[in-house]
Structure 1
Amino acid sequence: MTCPICGTVAVPGANFCHNCGAALPGAADLPQSERRTVTVLFGDLSDFTSWSEELDPERVGAVTDRVMSALAGAVKTFGGHVDKLTGDGIMAVFGAPVAHEDDVERAVRAALSMQRAVRRVLDDERGGGAPLGLRVGLNTGEVIAGLQAGLEYTVIGDTVNTAARLADAAAIGAVYAGARTASATRHLAGWRELRPLRLKGKRDPVETFELLGLHDAPGTRSGIGDEAPFVGRETEIGRVIGRLAEVIDRAEPRVMVLTAEAGIGKTRFAAEVERFAAGYDIGPGRFPARTGARVLSVHCAAFGERRRLAPLADLVRTAIGLPMEASTAVTRPAVEERLRRLGTRLSARLTPDADGTATVPHIPVEHLLTLLGVPADPASATPAVHTDGMPRFERTGTVGESADGMAEPAATEDRAGVDVAVLAEAVAQLLSALTLESPLVVIVDDLHDATPETVDALGVMLEALQGPVLVLLQGRPELVRTAGLLTRLADAEVQALPPLRGADAARLLSSYLRGGRLPQADEDRLLATAQGNPFYLAELVMLLMERGALTRGPLTRAGAAARPIEGEGGAQWRLTPGSLDTRLLSRDLAAVLAARIDALPPDARSVLRDAAVVGDSTPAGAVEALRERRSGRDGRPAAVVAVELDRALDELLARRMLRRQRGGYAFATPLLREAAYAGISKTDLAERHAFLTQWAAREPASAAPEPWIAPSGRALPPALVGFSDEARDEF
């Protein structure tokens, strides 16, 4: 078995990975078989046999080990799973055993990182019978994932075979990908369409694209929600602005924590906070300008080689006006000059003490330079000016760059041996000094993606802050349970960003429909399906439009005459009957929900899928029966199974994936049920459906009183009324 986080082969019987320390899944945690949408990566060293035949075996082994370590390291960096290593290649999977919202992007970045890493290794290892190079193939699609022969986790399917054939066909040093991979990452990378390739084992030519590289300024996935107005949230915005007023009045820092599920709109909320803060009336006297707090906004990366302390380094960059793009070279003298000017400017803001002197703000420049990754090069020493209390500078250099093309901040023990806590305190001193010019609003987004080291450093920084600074930490709900820094900040105010409701959700839908509206019944159904999540709603509207199920047309009232509604403003839309009944997951929405499901503990994830087999609503007895069936297979005591079921249901209720209803449970949205159902293998589905029908036939009438007639003509058992179409069809 391999570690699901870093791909390292596990020591037999170990509970934790000896490489990264991650908990290893037990056999009970890894499914025997499940359906997943993944991106498969194959990397193959070209002409390896020709290269190695004239070399000493020890050298071949040493070079191969370096190359394989580099390839596996790239997979680990971007959150993929190393499926297998061969003598001259690698197979990696992004999306199994753990899914992320952006697995396709991770795979593309990993492929580029692999090519760079191999080139670096081979530049050091000249010789051999032929030049070496790496061919990479990427393909996105559905696979069956699970334990093969009960021993090794792997994925199988045509998606895997196609990725391997694309790697075989790729030019040396190139990355070839299928159409789905390229389409999902056009906002991120440039692709060149090749002529369709005839690949071994494929009946039809395969659409193929060659990766040209990442865009200098990657965009975001385009969608109808991008230009929609900000609606609702008046209470939440008002609370943040109220805290800003308190911060300014008391000249003391304050920390707020905002949690929200994916798609609820926390990033958009932060942008609105920034807009309000920039126009806030501070009042005369204390600051050079009476209007506007300064906003410094950064985010935590979920993957990549610059995750360590990157948010703190980015705060420094933003604060002193350095470019965030790593492709822009920044020399040490340029950074020093910016900090010197800042010190001079802040000194001018000081009010002399009674003795006529003023305390110059201390900005620990050397520590900030270390955090930014500026190398200390004794050979490039230059004279420096000691001005306004600023430290003396002695060296020049260039800001470091990591292998993925982004600036690389310092490690836990930086190159000069400075502790992380010292670096975090240096950032706090810089931010505190900036409050001489204006109040600050510091926004740290996606804190759930931060490394533990980053979280600890942020905690140190927050405790050391002084002056009027409002800090807004944003992340997913699990942030409250897992972020260690929150336990050290007793006065941190935690606020959940709720789904949009009522008129706010209707206004958002109208904006997606360009000011139009749907008949009330259709609007209610669409909004109920989206459950107040702006991203879900936008994806639903786009999907329905693409299918031709949501179209412009005369808005009519129910009735035989279907008369048009008079006097309604805006464009009129109509929804095809039955279009909200099934298959509502777009590619991006499926990825978001799959990641949310994979974040569940194994038992809760299994219970959620049991409930999905039943339908949007689930009698409590059906879920209990399915769990008892499973316990009968592995021999666990019934009492243990009951406790595990209660714990799993509590978890699903706490995460708002299920809600209680009379006699059982219901999915928060049919979208979540569809995503959970899609992950169950057909074999497992057939077994669960068959078991449910047998259970239902034994149960007394407990659902709707009217029977449902199956396609076979047989009456449905009363307990099965209201079950999913799939369960009823199986009967």
Structure 2
Amino acid sequence: MSQDFASFLKKRLVQHTLPEDHHGPGSSELKPGERRDIAVLFLDLGGFTALSERLDHEAVHDISKGVMDALVDISGNFGGYVDKIEGDRIMVLFGATRAGENDSERAVSCGLLMLDAISTANDILSDTGVPITARIGINSGPVTVAPDAIGHLTAIGSTVNIASRMEEAAQEGTVLLPAAVMEKCRDLFSWVDRGAVSLKGVSLPVHAFSPVERLTVRRHRWERFSGDGFTSFVGRRRELSELSGLLEEHMSEAAGKGRLGTIRHTVLEVTGEAGIGKSRLVHEFIGDRCRGAPGILVLSGQTQSYAQPAYQLWVSMLRELLRFDTSSRPGYREFRERVLALSGGDETTDSIPFLAELLSIRSGDRRLEDLDSGAIALETRIAFRNLLKAMASDRHLILVLDDLQWIDSTCRGVLDFLLANCPSINPLLVFLVSRPETDDGKPVRFDVNPGYARLERMALSAMEGDECRGIIGALLDRFGGDGHLPVSRRAEEFLLGHSQGNPFFLEELVLDMLESGLLGIHEGSWTFSSSLDDIYVPHSLTGLLQSRLDRLSEEHRGSLQKSSVLGFEFRLMLYRRLLEKLGLEEDTDNVFGDLERRQFLLGKESAGGRMFEFRNILIHDTVYRTVLESNRKLLHRLTALILEDGLEEDDREMADILAHHWELAGDREKALHWGVLSLRKAVTTYQHERAMALSAGLEELIRLKPLEGGNLERLMEVLLSRYTTLDMLGRRRDQEELLLSMKELAESHSLEEWQLRIWTSLGNVLRITGRLQEAEDSYRKALALAVERSDRRSRGKVLCNLGILSRIKGDLEESECLFKQALEMNGTEVDPRVEGVLMGNLGNLYYDQGHMDEAIEYYERALAMNREVGDRRSEGIALGNLGNPYKARGDLNKALSYYRQSLDLHREIGNRRSEGVTLSNLGALYYDHGRFQESGECSDLALEIHRETGNMMLEAVTLTCLALLRVRSEDIEGAMTHYKRIVELVDELGLTEGGFDHFRELRRRLLEQGLTEEDVPLPKEWE
């Protein structure tokens, strides 16, 4: 026996001393129990020691037992579960086995009645002269509820500990509880504020209260819990009518024309609290009016709340369109053929590789290697635009974008690009469905430029009573089996009163009442089998869902819990493989069939086999919260292992979800591996918020181990990814602070390659922020390191940056020398991207010097390099640059040709800022050649874009041209309005005269109109 016990003890001790991320053989076993939110009550009796001195010990025992029996009965009357009785102390749990209406309220009510019972006992025992005393402590919150060593259900956790300490701190004859518990039932009792109470073992004092008595007038549930979320629905006649009207207006093209000359798109923002029925409304309308209708195509996309891959919203839509589920792994040829078949070719052919890349389908297209991340992100937006534009060429296209409270910046960028740059033959109708706030309380709002689309908003609120009655009738008809039966007035009023127009709550409440047997058919109608006073209804959706979960068998509840770890949506095949890993057997067809019939899950067929999803995200989250922490870790670990099977080593499409599973499994190394891959993808796909959050989380994990070897390199990569994201966001001060901390790390660990990169990046930040001498110092340090390391490529990049810096300083001779040295460094292993940048900069340099032949030569070479790598953004800029020297020479036709090519390309790729620059150049060109009407048209369009994009310098330049046109038309007042704004902008930005070729002419012409020097002052720096 001692040998067995020693073996058992050793096994348990070893398990508890292993590292957190260690998982040995035999650990694939789920522990019994679950996590729950409950209320805990402790009561301690006093006075029995003194009583035993006056009475026989048998009499004292009888009194003690009688009091305890009474307290147990009182607990049972309030739905309490007696966890343990130890001597004169009792511990009671509320909500441990079955969720109640308000567990905190029941615990407080029970406690007050217990004190009344003790008072009654003292009246009976008054002859003894020794009173019995009692003090009670209560707390509520999350606990682990599981069987102990002998199978008795018990609760553990800090919630229990605080309740115990509250009892110890309570005065005799009182109940003591924390302020957080009081808030849950504030309006039901009168209270005494006990102030800050120090508790044994708790570092900070706790603000505590004591309930005195229950208030006689209870507020209605909907008044007390009016802030709770609403849920799913049927009905909405008024809203459906509004949607019909909107669709008719959209189809009749009543929105008017947008900036690109085609009909404006229509956008409808549908908002409402979680579960109010937003998705149901839109999909019911779509199903009734649009799906299957000739000439209409409906596409849907959805975000997800965790581990969201890049472009998730649009990738889910792409999968739906192409009929590829998440398990599909088509080859590039099949993918390409399917896209071409649906889109008709032509417009989408060039974009297909960028769409394929999002599904981890390798096309071999060189652009994916040659282009930088910004250009790839642009081409990806263009690819989605081209696809949807082609789909809308011969039909009306309706996009339903759901759960946008979780939309990230990358997906929002595609949406903005699409609305601004999709001149489709038929305008798009876009539904934006979201909650009013993100999970962290920030408002969700979509502001659409009226020049791109017509924006309408619809906010959903509680449903009307008649529509709620329709939900009740429809549900009961479905479960009744005897056709339509009436609902008793008492039952109907109860259901309507508790749901208060909340359709999902109402639906779950009806299901809960049916499953519990409280609602049934009696004498030909639906009615309750119990008194309404005996029926508990949880106040929140979570409580109501928990109540339904409690009625499931252990097998069904366990299946839901395991499924919740797999995700909101999962394949049955994956679930079965999880069972194999656990060594469990289960009749999955029957179990999942039951869960589907009970409306916990929804099933569907896919190419990869049967799939299920939770009927609502709230159901998923409620189930997941019940899974024990240790079981969560095990299930996430096994799920990750299953998903890794058959994957390529660095499959980035699965990086997000695998990082998520390994992190929750507690395996830091695995979480770091996949997390870094996920971070790389977030940075290159412009998921700014996700990249920042990932880098912070990864840095925290990395720093838990010594900074040496691969761990140090990993940290530097994570920090560099954060720097890149900060650069995209324009947060220069944060960039500089990060680079300085990286410099300290690199120097302290003698990382020369990283020092070179950091000094170069620091020089870029200092140059952009105008600290030119500090920038040069940084570049020189980087250059010295590059020379020392014989790193020609890095040396060439630093020389290029020094050349740009010299040009900014006005030292054009030095700038030219540096650019040519950089070209030599590029050498035989030509990097076309670097070469294109250098050629463009040399072209700018020669243009500044007035050497137009050389400028044209280098601009043309830059253009060739940009086209070679497929960088259309840089190609458009090079075309615009080529127009400048021809404009300076007075060659109208060639300048116009290049400017128009540039304009077309900028519009094609949606580069609004560069479109504005080109329009300004065209406006000035037309003005110089006396084509004043065309000059005005281009300048008006340019001004609108400059103001939209915040380009204040070019706003001032363009206003100069427009003011001259006002003078020509003798609108001196209008010209002066423009002139004053120009001077304001120049003074605000501290601009020099460079680039303001027509400003002196404008001022001279205004003076010729009789205005004085005081009327038309020069900018302060130009005087």
For normalisation by structure 1, the TM-score amounts to 0.46
More helix as a share of residues = 2
Larger radius of gyration: 2
